[in-house]
Amino acid sequence: NAGVMQNPRHLVRRRGQEARLRCSPMKGHSHVYWYRQLPEEGLKFMVYLQKENIIDESGMPKERFSAEFPKEGPSILRIQQVVRGDSAAYFCASSPPLPGELFFGEGSRLTVL
């Protein structure tokens, strides 16, 4: 029974390139969250999605960042034209339909050169 799967675990990009981070939730989980952890900071909420629906994206930067959770396939966090300040660990979590515990993936570490 696989947990939340994130890939890639590590991603290196040059400034101006695009980064795509993928997250497959646990089986039976219909809700996906993305959080960002910057060095020396906590987990900052970015976006909360259901299948084919963005519930809350109040934590997403207005430009360059987008997220989706299609009917089929993983959730994708996309960062266009990356800058050095985007370097961080990006964590995905999933939860079942009822409110409660979040189950986290191992994270994707983005380094922008």
Which part of the chain contacts another protein (CB under 8 A), choosing from 13-21, 37-45, 64-72, 75-83?
37-45
Q: Does 25 bind another protein (CB under 8 A)?
A: no
Q: Does 69 bind another protein (CB under 8 A)?
A: no
Provide CB contacts within 8 A for 11, sequence distance 6+.
19, 21, 108, 109, 110, 111
Q: Does 54 bind another protein (CB under 8 A)?
A: no
Cβ 53 vs Cβ 62: under 8 Å: no
Contacts (CB under 8 A) with another protein, residues 92-111: 93, 97-107
